[in-house]
Structure formats: C-alpha cells, structure tokens
Amino acid sequence: MDMGATFQGLTAELAVDIDLAPLLERFLIAILALAGAQAGAVRVLTDDGKSMRLVAQQGLPANVQSAERLVPRDCGVCGAASVGDVLGWVNDVKTCAKHTEHAYFGIQCQRVLAISLPHGGQVLGIYNLFFDSDVRIDPQMETMLRLIGQLLGLALHNAKIERERLRVTVMKERQEMVNEVHDTIAQTLAYVRMRLPLLNESMLAHDDQRSLKYLSDVKNGVGEVHDKLREVMTYFRTRMDPLGLLHALQGVADGYFDRVGISLEIRNSAHSLNLTDEQEVQVFYIIQEALANIAKHSMARRAIVSIAREPQQLEFRIEDDGLGMDEPSVSTLITLAKGLAPSNHFGLEIMQSRAKRLGGTLTVGPNDGGGTRVRLLLPVVAISQGVSRL
C-alpha cells in the first residue's frame, strides 16, 4: 500500500467532505496499517465539554463499541489527551475495562495509545490506537501520528464551521419563509376575509349580480393563496446544497428527466461565480422556479441552464424548446374552461423579487427557435459587494 498516496487522497477529501464519519473510518484503516495497530477509534468532545463521543472506529468488538459510545472526559490518559496536545500510552489497560464487561482489554488489547486532535489552541477530541501486544513505536512514528492528529483536528474544526454555517442558513431561510408568508399569503387571506361578509350580505339581499362578483373574488383569492403556498413550499422544501450552486444544479439536472420527462443540460462557461452563500441560495431558487414552470407548462423536450461571465455581469439563462409564452398548454386550457385559472404571474413576481434582492434583473421572453427564455443578470458590483438586503 502506498501510504503517502493514501493519506494525500484522504487529506484532499477532508477539505470538502461534510459527512466525516465514513471518511474518518477510512482514515483509521490507513493509520492502523501505518502503526501496526489492530483497532482504532476517533472521539470528539460533546458540546458541554464533559464527555467524549465515539464518532468512528475500526476493529472494535460490537459490545465494546456500545460501551465506549460515550465516556467521561476525565477518563485516564484519554482524558489527559483531551485537555492538551498529548500523545500518551495507557499503561494499565484494565482501567479501560471499567466501561465494559467484555474481556477485550487485557486479552485482545494489550496497549492503548491516545493522541490529541488539536486545532487553534483547542483540543476537539482524541483518537485511540489499540494494540494486541506490548508494542513500542519509534519517535519518528510518534511524530507522524501527532501530525495525523493535527490533520484530523483541522477536519473536525472545518466540519464544525460547516455545521454552524448550515444552521445559520436554515435560520435565515426560516425567517425568509415567515416573511414570504406574511407578505403574500397573509395579505391575500385578509382580502378574502373582507369579501366574505360582503358576499353574505349580497346573498341575503338576493342580489345575484353582487353575489357572483364577491364569489368570484373569494374564489380567485383562495386560488391565489393555494398558488402562493405551493410556491413557498417549493422554495423551502430543499435546503441549499452545501457543496454550492453548481453542484446543486447538477443534482437537479441528473434527476430532471426521470421526474418530468424533459432532458436538462447545465452549461457553465464561467470559471468562477464568486457568489456568497446567500446569493447562491437566491439564484438557485430562481432557476428552480423557472424549471418548475418548464415542467408544468412548456411541453418541452429539452431545457438548458447556461451560466456565463461577462466583464460587467454574470448571466444565467434558462431556456426550453416548448410551446412558448403565447401558446397555452392543454392543462391551462382545461383550467380556463372551468373558470378556475389562478394568477399566472405569481411565480414570475417572486422570481423578479429575488432578482431585485440580488441587485440584478430578470426578464422572460421567447427563445430563439421557439420556447421560452428566462434571463437573470447580476452586475459584478452587486456580486463583489454582496447584497445586504439578503
């Protein structure tokens, strides 16, 4: 096994991987082979700092894993390694057996090594190596194991930052959802509520003309609320992909044909988008709504999302080869015939509102050769400065 290549590859993955448990287990496999250990474990400090939680392991018996799932922070050498940058041996492994009745320590395991996972002056956890003999390792190997501990500490630090970033993003999206509901659904419901007493009065007065008018107002209002609620649910059903906008769009494209029967291609000629997390979320929702409209109304065979950077702006185009804006689909005609057609412009209004928040512009028009084109333009100034209103 080329250990250098193995650690280099795993190190590169640590920089981008968010689900650390599987990656840490693979890291342990390489460490065990390097140090000649029979088992290994990675533990992180709990939020209250009082305990250490097992997050990855290799080679431990199932009942030992269960017993070691959560241990006090002040437990022996492991506790010492959780306080400072330490590489220490457990001289009496029988002390480790107090958490389990399994005859692992002292029989299958003769020595235990505890190594800190430090970063930025703090210790985020430890990792253990379990040996089946009274083994000794040389100073060069100890130095290597310390460096590995620092690398794993960096990975845990980055994972913590990413979890916090996702938490903040979710909080912002929840607040945005509240704002969306207040600004759209609540106002329409208030309008409907005002119309209901007028409808009741006109019915009691047997004024058929006014009754039909107010009934139509209520019907349209309820239909609009239904549409708006669907839009809000669409926007906030899926959290933004933590790997970024391009990865999220490719994920949508990969399953688009299976869901709606329309092929979707992502074309990106921009070397770097340089968007903030908040800007990526808004752009994603705009494109997502445009693709939802294509699926529902266009009767297209294929769609394309194009991304291009010009000197003064970033351009996103969503195009299809469907019916276009002037040709109503069969489903739309049926809805119109029933007199139940809701507002067709709410989705567009939301998209334009999001574009405005980004400091950009959004236009919708016919596509060359048929179909529809949605074009979002973001000025470079707005991108580089960020948009405080987001």
E strand map for the chain: 39-45, 51-58, 70-72, 87-90, 111-119, 122-131, 263-268, 302-310, 313-320, 361-366, 372-379
pLDDT at 178 over 80: no
pLDDT tens readout for residues 80-89: 888 888 899 9
Quote the mean pLDDT of the chain: 81
Residue-level length of the chain? 390
φ/ψ of residue 31, rounded to 5: -65, -40
Provide the b/e sequence for 238-273 (b: ≥16 CB within 10 Å): eebbeeebeebbeebbeebeeebebebebebeeeeb
193-231 pLDDT tens trace: 999 999 999 999 999 999 999 999 999 889 888 877 776
**Domain 239-390: which topology?**
Heat Shock Protein 90 (3.30.565)
Strand order in the sheet with 372-379: 263-268, 302-310, 313-320, 372-379, 361-366
pLDDT at site 242: 64
3-162 and 239-390 have identical folds: no
Q: What is the pTM of this model?
A: 0.47
Where would I find the H helices in 2-127? 3-14, 20-35, 62-67, 76-81
User: Which of 75, 62, 71, 5 is CA-nearest to residue 33?
Assistant: 5
115 DSSP β-pair partners: 87, 127
Fold of 3-162: Beta-Lactamase (3.30.450)
pLDDT score for 323: 84
DSSP 9: H
Confidence of residue 388 (pLDDT cuts 50, 70, 90): very low
Locate the domains of the chain by residue range: 3-162, 239-390
Inter-residue contact 34 to 3 (CB < 8 Å): yes
- In whole angstroms, what is the distance from residue 306 CA to residue 266 CA? 6
Write out pLDDT tens, residues 274-328.
Answer: 888 778 888 998 998 899 889 888 889 999 999 998 888 899 999 999 887 654 4
324-343 per-residue burial string, b: 16 or more CB within 10 A, e: under 16: beeeeeeeeeebeeeeeebe
Angle 139-180/277-293 helices, nearest 10 degrees? 60
DSSP 8-state assignment for residue 127: E
Calculate ∠ Cα 386-389-390, nearest 5°.
Answer: 70
3-state secondary structure of 108: coil
Average pLDDT over residues 262-268: 93
Q: How many CB atoms lie within 10 A of CB 2?
A: 8
Instruction: Report the SS3 class of residue 275.
Output: coil
Contact 172, 278 (CB under 8 A): yes
Condensed to tens digits (0 to 9), the pLDDT of residues 9-46 reads: 555 555 444 467 787 888 899 899 989 999 999 999 98
The pLDDT > 70 percentage for the chain reads 80
| Bigger pLDDT: 186 vs 306 | 306
